[in-house]
A and B are shown apart, each in its own frame.
Chain A
Amino acid sequence: MEKGYIPSKEDFTLLQRQDLYTDTNFASQSYWKSVAMHFFKNRRAVIGLVIILLIILFAAIGPSMNEFGYRDIVQYRNENNKRVVAKGIAPQIPALHKLFTGEELEGNFSQYTFLFGTDDLGRDLWTRTWYGARVSLLIAFVTIIIDMIIGMSYGLVSGYFGGLTDNVMQRFVEIANSVPRLVIVSVLAIFMPKGMGLVIVALLLTEWIGMSKIARAEMLKIKEQEYVLASRTLGAGHGHIIFRQILPNTIGPIITQVMFSIPTAIFTEAFLSFVGVGIALPQCSVGTLIEDGFNNITTLPYQILPPIIVLALLMLGFNFIGDGLREALAPKLEDM
């Protein structure tokens, strides 16, 4: 019998050096970085983000891109000293027109470029659409931020103290929650003049409830954690614990809720303005623009398109972002 093969040094060669992924790499990655990574991998979420950023961009600079203000009526006085107003002009781009047909555009206002056209009173729709988007976005952001602050504080405090405080506070929430937003709006309409104020207050009064519920739920989850106990033992005050220690860990779901509340706010504003309870002239917002467009839909069908598309995109965008955020955040929480 042959002797068994005895391996020698030459039989072995070192493998290529490989990077081994160890757990520690992941563990030391910051929480937010991994959330972001997760988020950006989600195609829909990215699309949503891009859409929203684009709209915000245009809302900021759009109205200044041409010489018209959102209230300016494009007009001039002709030889008979009569005013000629640029009413109801469909979208026109003289440069393109020349390009395609080789002729100059005709008409009283052929020297202007109206990307979206003019409305029934002679105002440039491009400017108005982006100005309206600006107003709607501002309202949404402002109210939601305030709601976030109020709702979060309320929910965190309620959850933290528990017991009777929590009970009472939650009863109140229940009652507040039982009144449909509509009823709140109508009662407000009795006391407040219709307009931006009414919309903002209505939103303030209703959106905080959602925030507070999430904040409270998070608080309940985290309250019993050891580091909270540690802080308390060390003598930290309630305020410090709630707002300095626990709050940062609840930001995630709160932000998600914010992303979902914004389209609700935008939609509520649009809807209220449309039925005549919201923004009043001469201010314009997405809602009033849709109403104006609707009132002229058979005679100037192009008028309603820009605001409706902006509204749909805004809502889609924020919903996508919200979905993406929720998915990005969810697995991490379970790990914790």
Chain B
Amino acid sequence: MIKYTLKRVGMAVLTLLIITFLLFVLVRIVPGNPFPSERMSAEQIANKRAEMGLDDPIMTQFFRYLGNALHGDFGKGTSLYYGAPISTVLSTAISNSFRIGGLAVLWGSLVGLVLGITAALHRGKFLDGFCTVVSILGVCVPSYVFLIFLQYTFAFKIPFFPYFFDSSRFLFSSVIPSLSLSLFTTSTIARFTRNEMVEVFDSDYVRLAEAKGMYGRGLVMKHVLRNALIPIVTVLAPLIVDLLTGALVVEKIYGINGIGKLMVDAIAGEGIDYNYVLALGILYSALYIGIMLLVDLLYGVLDPRIRVSSGKKEA
């Protein structure tokens, strides 16, 4: 198990390094100046470039960047809030995004589980069909569509929730964004839970437990749920990805100062902010690789069959 873990972690770190290098090179190749220079003279521009070490060889620049990054210094933005160190801006943004994302996962998992269990317990009846339709909609309707709908109804037509994100009342104004983000989570978990539970319900060992006299909630909790959780772990990775991308639009619409909004501003604004794209690119990749690593390891823990095999995953 240890060997497996070490191997996976090593691969993950290596992958991240390679990606960082690629991103770095790509970002530096671009012509132009990573600072606003419309009103600067050619001399001023040349001086600034020398000051920032922009004309050094690429490898030197890369190692310098890497060294700094490991200390948490990602440099400064080139057109977004330049002057403010990226790490400062990022830390607030990360905290916001993670809190809302976390809420979304929480909502989503709870509601998804409830929906899935309900559907499974009442399978074949109306409730099952209803839950299924709801979960299908959730997979198909993009989160921002849901957000628009929520915002329009519950913040405009019925002026109940705040129309914009208000950091002074965090919980209250995060209801709409986290709800809309949770849609995909809810639906996916509901579908999986239902399918897995139905499958497990019909399996032999549950029959045995029933025969032994267990029934109702105890049965559900103890045997069925645990085994149904395994495939949910599989779905975790695309879930997080969806959250990350969905967050982009949600944050932009709702005015939340999170990493999604930073990303949008960095690429869709008046000029592309290369340092932010680089820092955010590394962040997103690290997140994604980290989640996949976690899923891999969780799989190993949850399903002994994988641990036992040589660890070679089927593609």
Contacts and interface: CB of A to CB of B under 8 A. Distances in A.
Complex contact flag A–B (Cβ < 8 Å): yes
Given A183-B284, A217-B315, A294-B148, A277 B136 contact: no
Contacts of B301: none
B199 to A, nearest CB: 14
Interface of A: 155, 159, 170, 173-175, 178-183, 185-187, 189-191, 194, 213, 216-217, 220, 263, 267, 270-271, 274-277, 290, 294, 297-298, 301, 304, 308, 311-312, 315-316, 319
Contact of B285 (A179, A185, A276): A179
A186 B277 contact: yes
A98 B298 CA distance: 66
B80 to A, nearest CB: 13
A102 B237 CA distance: 59
A277 B268 contact: yes
B300 interface: no
Nearest to A263: B140
B285 A183 contact: yes
B314 interface: yes
B136 A190 contact: no
Contacts of A271: 142, 144, 245, 248-249
Contacts of A190: 26-27, 30, 267, 272, 274, 277
A178 B292 contact: yes
Nearest to A315: B140
Query: Interface of chain A, helix or strand or loop or mixed?
Result: helix
B230 interface: no
A311 B145 contact: yes
Interface string B236-271: 000001001100110011000000000110111000
Nearest to A298: B156
B288 interface: yes
A67 B268 CA distance: 35
26 contacts: A178-B289, A180-B284, A181-B245, A182-B244, A187-B23, A187-B26, A189-B267, A189-B277, A190-B30, A190-B277, A194-B268, A220-B315, A270-B142, A271-B142, A271-B249, A274-B144, A275-B252, A276-B264, A276-B268, A277-B264, A290-B145, A297-B148, A301-B152, A308-B145, A311-B142, A319-B140
Contacts of A183: 23, 280-281, 284-285
Given A271-B245, A275-B264, 13 more contacts: A180-B245, A180-B284, A182-B244, A187-B277, A189-B272, A189-B277, A275-B268, A276-B264, A276-B268, A297-B148, A298-B156, A315-B141, A316-B136
Interface in B24-83: 26-27, 30
Contacts of A217: 314-315
B206 interface: no
A190 B267 CA distance: 8
Given A275-B268, A276-B268, A277-B267, A180 B285 contact: yes
A176 to B, nearest CB: 10
Interface string B196-207: 000000000000
Contacts of A319: 136, 139-140
Contacts of A186: 263, 266-267, 277, 280-281
A185 B23 contact: no
B249 to A, nearest CB: 6
Contact of B19 (A178, A216, A267, A304): A178
B167 interface: no
B156 A213 contact: no
A213 B315 CA distance: 6
B302 interface: no
Contacts of A194: 268
B18 interface: yes
5 shortest A-B CB distances, which residue pairs?
A: A276-B268, A315-B140, A183-B281, A189-B267, A186-B267
B91 interface: no
A180 B241 contact: yes
A182 B263 contact: yes
Residue among B16, B145, B268, B289 facing the most chain A CB atoms (10 A cut-off): B145
Interface string B82-111: 000000000000000000000000000000
A327 to B, nearest CB: 12
Given A187-B26, A190-B27, A271-B142, A179 B268 contact: no
B137 to A, nearest CB: 8
Contacts of A216: 315
Contacts of A179: 19, 285, 288
Contacts of B23: 183, 187
Contacts of B148: 294, 297, 304, 308
A225 to B, nearest CB: 18
B15 interface: yes
A229 to B, nearest CB: 22
A263 B184 CA distance: 14
A183 B274 CA distance: 12
Contacts of B292: 178
Nearest to A183: B281
B315 A170 contact: yes
B19 A312 contact: no
Contacts of A312: 137, 140-141, 145
Contacts of A301: 152
A277 B287 CA distance: 23
A308 B272 CA distance: 29
Nearest to A312: B141
A131 to B, nearest CB: 20
Residue among B137, B139, B268, B315 facing the most chain A CB atoms (10 A cut-off): B315
